[in-house]
Chains A and B, each alone.
Chain A
Amino acid sequence: MSRIPSTIIVHGGAGDIPESRVPLKIAGVKRAVRAGFTRLALNGNVLDAVEAAINVMELDAAFNAGYGSVLTSKGEVEQDALIIKGSDLNAGAVGEIKHLLHPISLARVVLEKTPHTFIVGSGAEEIALEQGMTLVSNESLIAPPAREALQSYLNNEAAGTNELGNEKGTVGAVAINEKGEIAAATSTGGITGKLPGRIGDTPIIGGGTFCNDSICGASATGLGEAIMRANLTSRIAHLIENGTPASTAISAGLQFMTDKIPEADGGVIAITKTGEVGFQFNSHRMSWAYVQNNELHYGIEHGEDNIEPL
């Protein structure tokens, strides 16, 4: 019986990432996956691993999560996140988080310390306070590129177009340990100019994030509404469950989504129950990186797979 290799994969978002942001994204996903793998190698705890990887990206202004999150139509940060444990399908999701740098960590509290799976708004932040987490001002989560993106969106809106911001930088991570335990997590600031209270695919189990030890873990990025309508990761998981290889299943899922909703594009990362890694995107670019068998793989362009020793 073949051993399952300890593996972690991350993405830093799929979309029309401009050339100028490419080096930042690559550096960021590499740093995140290394941080996640360090935790995984330490104690094999897959929840620790995905949380650590996502925390790195939440701190990094290059990504649309935590600091650097895009802004609502009212100029504020509102974040969503979800973390799922594949062994018992236990999940913790948060939405509309305005005063935390690490919404994924609050999602983990929801998973581990409450009987619920999804809590939003001030109700969720109350839990953060009760847990002794540090609340921050909304202002402190706003990075200059997010402000610029909102301004550009508002200018276009005024001109009558409906551009919702084309760099959808949701971040995600999936990890598996040698016992075959899987965790998946996703964190996001959403889309530029969204209505206050808008929730996308990220915190929806089977939408932007999926995890079941008997099948796979997966995290998606792209236009949230389209991913929700297509129920993307659930669809992909069903194909994998029926024997389709990971990357093929992801391509099929993305194709279904784009066939139904032509303006949608995105990407997905996944690890199956045997440790098979899959990643695909049909947007311009998607930053990703994974560690398996002492190698770090990463890329951002179609067809790219750069390898360096760990």
Chain B
Amino acid sequence: MESEPVIVIHGGAWAIPDSLVASSLAGVQAAAQAGWKILSSGGSAVDAVEATIVVLENDPTFDAGTGSVLTTDGTVEMDAIIMEGENLNLGAVACLGNVKNPIRVARLVMEKTDHTLLVGQGALEFAKEIGVPTISTESLATPAGWAELERFKTYNKAVRGNFSERQGYGKLSGHDTVGCVALDKRGLLACGTSTGGITGKRCGRVGDSPLVGCGAYADKTAGAVSCTGHGESISKVCLARRILENCEQGIESEEAIQHGLSFMRRRVGNAGGAVCIDRKGNPGIGFNTARMAWAAIVRNKATSGINPGDMICFSE
């Protein structure tokens, strides 16, 4: 039985500055087009999610892959997850450096190992062993990323050993996590998320993105979702699962996202965004940050936005 394919993506929910609006919109539109090409020609949701996220990772506008923010030591540590909703298979990586596309490594974890999450040096060793080319930190970092780290360090007067609450996290660091949910013609759901994390993070810090149930989740009995926003807050409330619990009860995507975000704000006080496809195939987006770059394609209709209420059409 054929399903109507759907793709929804985000390029991060945060106070995106005016200077990044145009490139963020262009970026999410291009990524959606890449994923749609696969879905509309009968390709799988997992392939579409991977391809979409690769485009976003390769776009230095976004804090994922190339363009990832830097740790306090000036390194790049990336997290990513990919999951399918039929059998709940998933693969994830965290604190992975020196590869161009962490989402590809996450997929290899899913398909070539018995594991679901590999971190750090172990993740890099696995990537090398399976033939993923390694690249320098310099080729992942951007001048903007370096400038952001400098600003962060100046603002916080960071001293080795001082790990008390860093004031700057809310103000200076973006939340540019990228993500995607897709439904293919066979009715299969998939989701994925990828990020470089937050500027000035400690080495080894893992946010919500690669954590199943927090940054992303897919389950055909509920839907598929990818989240973005304040990583620790999303983890504490298991935001992806919370949104899908609403979908399980028949609540549609957008309302489910709003319930999840409201709960998170009430309970732990921070903001974010998400994209979702519920079990009936309805796409949804939502955010309670100032902006979120997003794009969606369904029934050959392509829409995108960045400010609340935007509905900017583009060609699929």
B-binding residues in A (CB < 8 A) = 88-91, 93, 95-96, 113-124, 126-127, 130, 162, 164, 194-200, 204-207, 210, 224-225, 228-231, 234-235, 238, 260-261
> What B residues does A88 contact at CB under 8 A?
268
> What B residues does A119 contact at CB under 8 A?
202, 204-206
> What B residues does A127 contact at CB under 8 A?
163, 202
Interface hub of A93, A116, A126, A224 (most chain B Cβ within 10 A): A116
How far is it, in angstroms, between the C-alpha of A204 and the C-alpha of B211 when the chains are bound?
A: 7
> What B residues does A228 contact at CB under 8 A?
90, 116-117, 212-213
- A205 contacts B236, CB within 8 Å? yes
Asked whether B17 is an interface residue with its Cβ less than 8 Å from the other chain, the reply is: no
How far is it, in angstroms, between the C-alpha of A202 and the C-alpha of B70 when the chains are bound?
A: 27
Stretch at the interface among B18-26, B57-65, B118-126, B134-142: B118-126
> What A residues does B245 contact at CB under 8 A?
238
**A205 and B235 contact, Cβ closer than 8 Å, known pairs A95-B206, A115-B166, A119-B206:** yes
Q: List 10 additional contacts besides A89-B236, A116-B202, A195-B126; criterion CB under 8 Å.
A: A89-B237, A119-B202, A120-B94, A122-B203, A130-B163, A162-B114, A198-B122, A206-B214, A207-B213, A229-B89
Interface residues of A, dominant DSSP? mixed
How far is it, in angstroms, between the C-alpha of A51 and the C-alpha of B161 when the chains are bound?
A: 24
- A197 contacts B126, CB within 8 Å? yes
CB distance from B70 to the nearest CB of A (A): 14
- B114 contacts A117, CB within 8 Å? no
- B126 contacts A261, CB within 8 Å? no
Interface hub of B87, B207, B211 (most chain A Cβ within 10 A): B211
- A195 contacts B205, CB within 8 Å? no
How far is it, in angstroms, between the C-alpha of A234 and the C-alpha of B222 when the chains are bound?
A: 14
Q: Which of A120, A204, A205 contacts B120, CB < 8 Å?
A: A120
Q: Which of B212, B232, B235, B236 contacts A229, CB < 8 Å?
A: B212
How far is it, in angstroms, between the C-alpha of A141 and the C-alpha of B45 when the chains are bound?
A: 44
